[in-house]
Structure 1
């Protein structure tokens, strides 16, 4: 059974592409056009692309230097910084991914809402009921086997990339140099290029999430080197698509026109160029894309919780597998959490925006710990042959660490505090796991300090929500 569950290089690459190409890419034209022109967009993608490439290279290096560490995202944090930070990384990545899955259902229903008003903005009663049916349909499909779900993900990944490629080809053929030059500096925007770039950086955080997909699934890889290959090749594929989707609309439409389009703006942009069929074509692609991303992230969510339980960082109940070798208890826990959050969107003012921001905030701390651990491994020379140069790996991991710290602060204090509202009570799972083992809950003084900071942040976050300083 174990051999049947192994993933090929192509399937691992599809996990990366499938995880990254979700909702974000379909909203890029309007999101960027509302803030900047082609010049600012190119600078933003250069900064984000460089930072995320460094992070991808860290994942690649750790997969090769530390092959014994499976489900890399949280295991790297545990190995480098201790049990409690490792738990927080696993919990944050898991709960952030659950929240991200909720955003997919909200977007699916809001997209359908353009054709069927009963779905509204994706958080009406009917929308929640339909989303709930979808959640549990995926749940029982995944329970039938990870390999089957991964094979479906590969097919869906190909299917959802086709509308994006068609969009790129059509706009490339209709490229107008004069229009591109007119938009180049942002047209009528008065902000400096630096301010324009800064206002787009948070967008790139969400669209790059998923870059670690192959690392999370490393225990299923046929060969360890396939993990690094899938991570880097998936990164280049998706980055190329995102840059072209962002820049090409500037060559056929005025920036202000793109900025005023409804979301998904890729559909509106194609409609403006080729007529109504363009909007329908891209909307269908979006639905396939989001459902495919949901499948990929459902797999990743369950795998992280399962691996954490196997390493005794989560209660042992989550280490349960069914006869198909699927982490069934972790999958049940994941989808129960997703279901509960979907229900709460009924009372949210802007459910989609809140889910996107929270997903980014919860995911950045685990990624920061991975980058930091990559730097520690290179500095100590773990896994290196005697005399082997470590300078390049040190440079790459150092840049990745600086970039993730920058993103954490660029996200703003509000969402760091809001993430603490989830991190602090989540520690109850850590307490449960430690008592199962009969060991002290917090073994080090630094663990108490981290917990105290999370608790203070949680109290502050609840106060800000209650007083309306943070709107949800």
Structure 2
């Protein structure tokens, strides 16, 4: 690739920002207000800011240290910790992106509902009604049809989509800074109004822990620059773009959530329908603010949906080449698209949409489930960098970065709590069966190391309390 065709720092940074900004940011005020007061909000963002920057730098370091490895999250985990952990990383990332895609559709149709629904006639509700299910399914299969024909986002489309995402955020931040009142922000400093008869004492650290999955969710996509590292004009731009993109997005996230709690009481924001940014902006400027945010959310979600479908399709395709997924995922159609993987992903999206409709689950539930599945993949990124640094006796900076990213990922696993960790066990179980089946078909036998058998045994044991939690 010629140097003119390669990606410079500005374009690479834009790609990082675009990959992280999807639907989550438009719902952040409500998501955070639902679980934390002002003090916990600031502490949560401080922890996330430091941890996510180290995670981003870890991706950049691995791209520099192991430029021979393609596939990012899956390949790093397989190279560092064996085939089974590589598969679990790929499976967790695939489920995160797939369930995230479902969340995109649900919140988009919830936004459409703000224009169509009335107290007497609810059409789309929280994106979980029958009408929403039909509309979401139609979009899912339209994207399937487009991707199957090799349709991908061009750089120009990505640039326009990024502007559409960022412009309303800047408008919101500017107006919120003008309308901000410190007395409203400080009124629920400790989050005392979060107390309920069932949970009368909600401590600060408990609130901080409850923000962790939300803050991690909105940074999913941080790996964008590392994935595209081979296209970078200069290798050092990968780290710069990742850190610059993360810092800029972090500043936007912090500004939006902090300023929102200085506009309206925390409890009022927590009770809002999503996209809650629309409700807060409408309070400040009237109906046009709600329209602006809702329209921009829909455009943002649809542009991100295509990218995330491509990610979700690529991971099983790469895994199939190493026997981690069925061989049918390897084959490409006439347009160079791994059709088996694409169809598998779209059918999974369809099943999840059906379950959302039947159970009445909302975007917030999907957010938590999706983020719980990215915990293992991100943990293995920091751990692999730390392993490389220790095994190769690399400079202290690599050891420090790897250790910091690993500790942050471990903290997130702890903060997620047993409920979501046990639920993720149930989602990893069918993946383990798929892996064993694929291994047998690919190699004619099961190729498992001793520690991998122990991991599968632990997973089987944890399945007992996981099923009890679900059905008990």
TM norm. shorter chain > 0.5: yes
**Matched position secondary structure for 1:253:** coil
Question: Which residue, 277, 280, 292 being the options, matches 1:281?
Answer: 292
Cα distance, 1:276–1:222 mapped onto 2, change above 3 Å: same
State yes or no: 1:62 paired with 2:62. yes
Given candidates 238, 250, 253, the residue that maps to 1:242 is 253
Q: What is aligned with 1:378?
A: 389
Rounded to whole Å, the distance in 1 between the matches of 2:304 and 2:313 is 14
**Mapping 1:105-120, distance limit 5 Å:** 105-116=105-116, 117-120=122-125
User: Which residue of 1 is the match for residue 139 of structure 2?
Assistant: 134
Stretch moving more, 13-22 or 329-338: 13-22
Deviation at 1:251, TM superposition (A): 3.6
Instruction: State the shift of 1:99 in Å.
Output: 1.0
Query: Which deviates more, 4-13 or 64-73?
Result: 4-13
Whether 1:403 aligns to 2:408 is: yes
For residues 65-114 of structure 1, give each alpha carbon's deviation from its aligned partner in whole angstroms, at most 9, with x where no partner exists. Answer: 11111121111111111111111111111122111111111111222223
In the alignment, the residues of structure 1 paired with residue 471 and residue 191 of structure 2 have an alpha-carbon distance, to the nearest angstrom, of 39
Secondary structure at the residue paired with 1:411? helix
C-alpha distance in 2 between matches for 1:310 and 1:379: 29
Q: 1:80 and 2:80 equivalent?
A: yes
Structure 1 residue runs of 5 or longer lacking an equivalent are 385-389, 468-472
Task: Answer with 199-208 or 235-244: which moved more.
Answer: 199-208
Distance 1:373 1:227, change over 3 A: same
Residues 150-180 of structure 1 show CA distances to partners (whole Å, capped at 9, x for unaligned) of 6533321221111111111122233445555
Q: CA deviation at 1:11?
A: 5.5
Bigger mean CA deviation after superposition, 117-126 or 150-159: 150-159
TM-score (ref. length: structure 1): 0.88
RMSD: 2.8
Pairwise mapping of residues 250-265 of structure 1 onto structure 2 (< 5 A)?
250-265=261-276
Shift of 1:52: 0.8
Q: Distance in 1 between matches of 2:103 and 2:315?
A: 19
Give, in whole Å, the separation in 2 of the partners of 1:158 and 1:367. Answer: 28
Kindly provide the CA deviation profile for residues 169-212 of structure 1, in whole angstroms up to 9, marking residues without a partner as x.
12223344555555655586785544443332232121122212
3-state SS, counterpart of residue 115 of structure 2 = coil
Distance 1:195 1:416, change over 3 A: closer
Q: Does 1:24 align with 2:29?
A: no
Matched with 1:47 is 47
Which residues in structure 2 correspond to 1:451-462 (within 5 Å)?
Answer: 451-462=456-467
Q: Does the Cα contact within 8 Å between 2:192 and 2:202 map onto a contact in 1?
A: no
Task: State the shift of 1:444 in Å.
Answer: 0.9
Moved more, 370-379 or 224-233: 224-233
Shift in Å, 1:437: 3.5
Cα distance change, pair 225–237 in 1 and its aligned pair in 2 (3 A): same
**Structure 1 residues 164 and 58 mapped into 2: Cα distance closer, same or farther (>3 Å)?**
same
**Comparing 310-319 and 269-278, the one that deviates more:** 310-319
Report the Cα distance in structure 2 between the residues aligned to 1:226 and 1:147, rounded to whole angstroms.
Answer: 24
Matches within 5 A, 1:340-351: 340-351=351-362
- My pick for the range that moved more, 83-92 or 131-140, is 131-140
- Is 1:292 aligned to 2:292, yes or no? no
In structure 1, C-alpha distance between the alignment counterparts of 2:469 and 2:37, rounded to whole Å: 35
Q: 1:76 to 1:186 in 2, by over 3 A?
A: same
The DSSP-based 3-state class of the residue aligned with 2:360 is: coil
Question: So what's the TM-score if we normalise by structure 2?
Answer: 0.88
Q: 1:159 aligns with which of 159, 164, 175?
A: 164
Gaps of 5+ in 2: 117-121, 195-200
Distance 2:452 2:242 in 1: 32
Matching residue within 326, 342, 348 for 2:337:
326
Moved more, 212-221 or 353-362: 212-221
- Could you report, residue by residue, the CA deviation over 1:332-363 in whole angstroms, capped at 9, with x for unpaired residues? 22112111211222221324233211111111
Q: 1:168 to 1:86 in 2, by over 3 A?
A: same
Distance between the aligned counterparts of 2:425 and 2:26, measured in 1? 30
- Point out the more displaced range, 51-60 or 430-439: 430-439
Partner of 2:208: 197
Alignment check: 8 A CA contact 2:48 2:215 kept: yes
Q: Which moved more, 1:213-222 or 1:82-91?
A: 213-222
Decide which moves more: 337-346 or 319-328: 319-328
Number of residues paired by the alignment? 461
Matches within 5 A, 1:422-433: 422-433=427-438
What secondary structure does 1:313 align onto?
Answer: coil
Cα distance between partner residues in 1 of 2:409 and 2:239: 20
CA 1:424–1:302: 2 relative to 1, 3 Å:
same
Contact 1:83 1:313 in 2 (8 A): yes
1:466 to 462, 468, 471: 471
Change in CA separation of 1:464 and 1:259 when aligned onto 2, cut-off 3 Å: closer
Q: Which residue matches 1:361? A: 372
Tell me the secondary structure at the aligned position of residue 82 of structure 1. Answer: helix
2:198 maps to which residue? none
Is 1:271 aligned to 2:282, yes or no? Answer: yes
Which residue is 2:97 aligned to?
Answer: 97
Give the match's secondary structure for 1:118.
coil
Query: How far apart are residue 21 of structure 1 and its match?
Result: 1.4
